[in-house]
């Protein structure tokens, strides 16, 4: 099947050079790359464990934490 691809110029030059070096066609090289990519196991997203503060304390007196404006005003009341 014929198709048109828009490839990065440098990547295409490197692929052509590799195909020539391996005495194969650019088509075969691209097919091989696609097969390898399709055969590879999909990787699951890496689980990231975020640190949780377990200390005592909390918000300063008079703040409920429900409003960003309230929090910003508590830090810099002049803005």
CB 26 within 8 A of CB 14: no
Burial 36-65 (b: 16+ CB within 10 A, else e): eeeeeeeeeeeeeeeeeeeeeeeeeeeeee
pLDDT at residue number 78: 75
pLDDT at residue number 30: 96
pLDDT at residue number 18: 97
Domain boundaries, the chain: 9-39
Q: Per-residue confidence of the chain (79 residues) as pLDDT tens digits?
A: 899 999 999 999 999 999 999 999 999 999 999 999 999 877 788 898 998 888 787 777 777 777 888 888 888 877 6
3-state helix, strand, coil in the chain (%, to 5): 45, 0, 55
pTM above 0.75, yes or no: no
pLDDT at residue number 79: 63
């Amino acid at each position: 099947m014929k198709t048109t691809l828009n490839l990065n110029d440098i990547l295409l030059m490197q692929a052509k050079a590799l195909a020539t070096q391996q005495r194969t066609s650019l088509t075969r090289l691209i097919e091989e790359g696609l097969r390898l990519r399709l055969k590879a196991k999909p990787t699951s997203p890496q689980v990231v464990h975020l640190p949780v503060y377990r200390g005592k304390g909390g918000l300063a007196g008079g703040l409920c934490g429900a409003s960003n404006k309230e929090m910003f005003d508590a830090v810099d009341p002049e803005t």
